[in-house]
Amino acid sequence: MPTPPADRRALRERARRSGSVVAQRLLDQPLRNLGVGGAIALLAATAAFGGLEPAASPTLPDVEVGETVVAAPFELTVDKVLWVDELPGAYLSEDGNRWLALTATVTSTADRTVTGVTLRDALGLVGVDGLVGEPTAGTDRVLSSQRLLLADGSDLSPVQPGLEYEVVFLFEQDGSVPPPEQVTVQAVGQTWRPSSLDTGFGWFDPTVVAQGRLAMRQAVDEGDA
């Protein structure tokens, strides 16, 4: 496979710095002109100063408090990161457990109604001890147990297009584990495509589009909660 122009430019610069005249001459020619022997010579010459190094992996955008992240089909802005022992209208599975709560502003950018299941997949926590619930398949990301409207505590489902909602994503944590001082938050985008099982369409292929480590504190008043 031909070496991309950007990689060849980088190799030329390394050859120039290393003083390798052979490598510079080889890199100045198209690979098709070198033949098999020439290509092998190119690889041998470049190995001495780094070889054909792979491109660096792209860095994910940060999830930051107050900053909007696009995670199709939503725009998400995390507003607060709190923990609380109890919330009216939200029921823990065991006495003594607590809620880890991400309050967020959510807007659906889809042109049709989106289900609460799709919203559930949009935010997750990674690496938090004691979360109630298993990670999603093939990941270490745990999804929220409930997604409630701050206005009235009702479950947000479905999500209507173009409307802005203030939502709390609730993650239940075992009370025997200390509440975390920081949590890693992942925003997850999805793709609208046909189902592989039937003729219907849906949101599939969850992919992490942003990630950030955020400070968490205890909710200290009703405004926080």
Beta bridge partners of 210: 187
CA distance 166 to 101: 13
CA distance 179 to 121: 23
pLDDT band at residue 61 under the 50/70/90 scheme: very high
Q: Which of 49, 45, 57 is nearest to 10 (CA)?
A: 49
pLDDT band at residue 29 under the 50/70/90 scheme: low
- Predicted local distance difference test score (pLDDT) of residue 151: 92
What residues make up the domain containing 124?
Answer: 68-218
Residues 200 and 149 in one domain: yes
Residue 20 contacts residue 45 (beta carbons within 8 Å): yes
| Residue at 101 is within a domain | yes
Residues 81 and 192 in one domain: yes
* Whether pLDDT at 89 is above 90: no
Residues 180 and 210 in one domain: yes
Residues 205 and 130 in one domain: yes
Q: Which of 136, 153, 61, 140 is nearest to 101 (CA)?
A: 153
Residues 204 and 172 in one domain: yes
Q: Which of 127, 122, 140, 101 is nearest to 184 (CA)?
A: 127
Residues 29 and 84 in one domain: no
Residues 25 and 118 in one domain: no
- Predicted local distance difference test score (pLDDT) of residue 203: 95
Residue 7 contacts residue 52 (beta carbons within 8 Å): yes
Residue 41 DSSP one-character state: H
Average pLDDT over residues 96-101: 98
pLDDT top residue among 81 and 24: 81
pLDDT top residue among 18 and 220: 220
* Whether pLDDT at 9 is above 70: no
Q: Respond yes or no on whether the N-terminal peptide bond of residue 158 is cis (omega within 30° of 0).
A: yes
Average pLDDT over residues 95-107: 98
CA distance 193 to 189: 13
Residues 73 and 184 in one domain: yes
As a whole number, the mean pLDDT across the chain is 83
Residues 34 and 80 in one domain: no
The terminus-to-terminus CA distance of the chain in angstroms comes to 57
Q: What is the CATH number of the domain that holds 167?
A: 2.60.40
| Residue at 15 is within a domain | yes
Residue 161 DSSP one-character state: B
Residues 37 and 116 in one domain: no
pLDDT band at residue 169 under the 50/70/90 scheme: very high
* Whether pLDDT at 219 is above 80: yes
Residues 136 and 175 in one domain: yes
One-character DSSP codes across 53-71: PPPPPPPPPPP-TT-EEEE
Residues 121 and 201 in one domain: yes
Residue 70 contacts residue 209 (beta carbons within 8 Å): yes
Residue type, 93: S
CA distance 206 to 191: 7
Burial class of residue 152 (count of CB atoms within 10 Å of its CB; 0-12, 13-18, 19+): exposed
Domain count, the chain: 2
- Predicted local distance difference test score (pLDDT) of residue 57: 54
pTM: 0.74
